[in-house]
C-alpha cells in the first residue's frame, strides 16, 4: 500500500538543522527524526530514491524547508527496520 512521506526541516538555535519525517498510509503513521543532512540523505537512499530524484528532492527541501513525496511504497516492516516509530491514526 502506498503512502506519503512528509519531511520538515527544523532549525535549532545555536545548532544545525534536524529533519522530522512522517510517513502516512491508511490507518498508520510512522515518524523519525534525522539529526543531520547526511543521515536524511542516507535514509532517502535506503528507501530506494534514485540519485537524480534525491537531488531534486534535496533542492526543494533546501529551498522551502519542507518536502512531500507521494506514492511511496514502504511496508510497516521496512519502516521499522529504518528506525521509524509507529503510531495508530484514525484517518
Sequence spans of domains, the chain: 2-88
* Residue keyed to cell 532549525: 11
Q: Which residue has the higher pLDDT, 48 or 21?
A: 21
Give me the phi and psi of 45, to 5 degrees please: -65, -40
Q: How confident is the model at residue 35 (pLDDT cuts 50, 70, 90)?
A: very high
**CA–CA distance, 89 with 91 (Å, rounded to integer):** 6
What's the pLDDT score for residue 89?
A: 65
What's the pLDDT score for residue 44?
A: 92
Q: 23 Cβ partners below 8 Å, 6+ apart?
A: 3, 4, 5, 6, 29, 30, 31, 72, 74, 79, 84
Amino acid at each position: 500500500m502506498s503512502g506519503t512521506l512528509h519531511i520538515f526541516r527544523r532549525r535549532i538555535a545555536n545548532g544545525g538543522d534536524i529533519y522530522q519525517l512522517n510517513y502516512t498510509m491508511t490507518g498508520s503513521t510512522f515518524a523519525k527524526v534525522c539529526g543531520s543532512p547526511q543521515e536524511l540523505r542516507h535514509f532517502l537512499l535506503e528507501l530506494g530514491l534514485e540519485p537524480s530524484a534525491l537531488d531534486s528532492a534535496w533542492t526543494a527541501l533546501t529551498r522551502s524547508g519542507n518536502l512531500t513525496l507521494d506514492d511511496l511504497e514502504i511496508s510497516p516492516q521496512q519502516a521499522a527496520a529504518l528506525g521509524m516509530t509507529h503510531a495508530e491514526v484514525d484517518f
